[in-house]
Amino acid sequence: MSNKPPHPETISAQALGQGDVPSGGLVQAIHVATTYERDADNQYPNGLIYGRPHNPTTRLAENVVAALEGGAGALAFASGMAAAVAVFENLTNGDHVIAPKVMYWALRDWLAVRLVARGVKVSFVDMSDPAALEAVLAKGSTKIVWIETPANPLWTITDIARVANKAHGAGAILVVDSTVATPVFTNPLALGADIVMHSATKYLNGHSDVLAGILVTREADEIWEKISSARASGGAILGPQQAALLVRGMRTLHLRVRSASEAALKIAAHFEGHPNIVEVLYPGLENHPGHDIAVRQMQGGFGAMLSLRIKGGAAAAIQVAANVKIWKRATSLGGVESLIEHRASMEGPSTPVPEDLLRLSVGVEHVEDLIGDLQQALAADA
């Protein structure tokens, strides 16, 4: 028998091979207990005290993602936003954070409004421009550099290794939102990141029926202990039923993500140069500004998200979305069904997203059906 560690596909498909020991079931039981019994020596033999800091089912989900990312530990939260916010929980007045100009809108808004209200300075920069990052890095006061790659919804690519080097040189940690890349295509910790974040609602779960967030750390250091303590005290842990659904979803992670990403590349290539489209935004296209970096740090694929900028502005884009029959007009991404959304309408008047942009999340339907539906939607708008 080979002594080599299992491949990521095996880790996710078998959920680390941890079934239900008492019954022999291949799927671990869902543990719903909120409190645990002490033994006669007044100790907790399994290290479990109460449901707020730990749960065996939640721990399994954490262990699977930690293994996929090559991390020292993981924490599961009740949503992607809960996971993201936990990273900033221990910052104090005068600390400094750097984040991308274009990123997941809900977190961008939280940083600009709520974190700033606590006295933390936040700089939003173009992460694809090395000079822009270096101009705002402040040794001693910059505590966190946050990047998202590919970044929602323009799908810009940031060089993780380069930013990690700059952040560490200033004494800051690097946190990477790798929701779109997934562990299938990118392992940020191996490229120098300190923490990787996933909105597990999206690809890790993949079935549009769970809200969840995951943080994975490269080292179980003091910063990680503070984040863990904040989750325990704040009660933001992912519940056991949701964790079980997350584990179920991760069993098909590689199949789903690779299938959807292959389809996304075909869709992007097909509509490049379409007379009713101003621009196709997808890092798998050779003319994408971040393509070369994506080839280097996204192993085996470029993700299943792309955006189309429609000729005629916001009204034309909204009409194209209204014309689709197979694509679903809905927010979110990463599910088995394909979604289309006029993103600027969702984000509001202060959005940096172009008004002519439609965001597409490619699912696992037949790619010819998806292309045909978009073709008729664009033709109906002509």
Give, in order, the Cα–Cα distances in Å from 256 to each of 9, 134, 206, 364, 365: 11, 38, 8, 7, 10
Q: Which residue type does 52 have?
A: R
Exposure string of 51-84, with b = 16+ CB inside 10 Å and e = fewer, is beebbbbbbbbbbbbbbbbebebbbbbbbbbbbb
pLDDT of residue 167: 97
| Residue 188 near residue 178, CB atoms below 8 Å | yes
| Residue 40 near residue 177, CB atoms below 8 Å | no
**Per-position DSSP letters for 271-296, written without gaps between them:** HTT-TTEEEEE-TTSTTSTTHHHHHH
The values of phi and psi at residue 381, to 5°, are: -85, -15
* Structure tokens belonging to residue 319: 């009409």
270: number of Cβ within 10 Å: 16
3-state secondary structure of 73: strand
Looking only at the bridges linking them, the beta strands covering 142-148 and 173-177 are parallel
pLDDT for 241 beyond 80: yes
pLDDT in tens, 162-171: 999 999 999 9
Q: How many CA atoms lie within 13 A of 163 on its CB side?
A: 31
pLDDT of residue 380: 80
* Structure tokens belonging to residue 270: 């097909």
The values of phi and psi at residue 95, to 5°, are: -70, 160
CA distance 310 to 206: 28
pLDDT in tens, 60-108: 999 999 999 999 999 999 999 999 999 999 999 999 999 999 999 999 9
pLDDT of residue 21: 79
Q: Which domains does the chain have, with CATH numbers?
A: 8-250 (3.40.640.10), 253-381 (3.90.1150.10)
pLDDT of residue 2: 62
- Locate tokens 């699912």: which residue? 363
pLDDT of residue 349: 82
pLDDT in tens, 35-56: 988 888 888 888 888 889 989 9
**Per-position DSSP letters for 254-272, written without gaps between them:** HHHHHHHHHHHHHHHHHHT
pLDDT of residue 1: 46
pLDDT of residue 147: 98
Q: Across 170-327, where does the E strand assignment appear?
A: 173-177, 195-198, 213-217, 277-281, 305-310
CA distance 135 to 132: 5
pLDDT for 381 beyond 60: no
pLDDT of residue 194: 98
- The CA-based angle 338-15-37, given to 5 degrees, is 120
Residues with catalytic annotation? 52, 104, 177, 202
pLDDT of residue 41: 87
pLDDT of residue 19: 82
Mean pLDDT rounded to a whole number for the chain: 95
| Residue 53 near residue 237, CB atoms below 8 Å | yes
Lowest-confidence pick of 11-20, 323-332, 365-374: 11-20
CA distance 286 to 288: 5
Looking only at the bridges linking them, the beta strands covering 339-342 and 328-329 are parallel
Higher confidence at residue 167 or residue 25? 167
Report which secondary-structure segment, H or E, holds 145: strand 142-148
Mean pLDDT of 301-313: 98
**Per-position DSSP letters for 60-93, written without gaps between them:** HHHHHHHHHHT-SEEEEESSHHHHHHHHTTT--T
356: number of Cβ within 10 Å: 23
Share of the chain above pLDDT 70, in %: 99
| Residue 212 near residue 162, CB atoms below 8 Å | no
pLDDT for 146 beyond 70: yes
* Beta-carbon contacts of residue 10 (< 8 Å; ≥ 6 apart): none
CA distance 7 to 352: 40
- Locate tokens 């909204």: which residue? 318
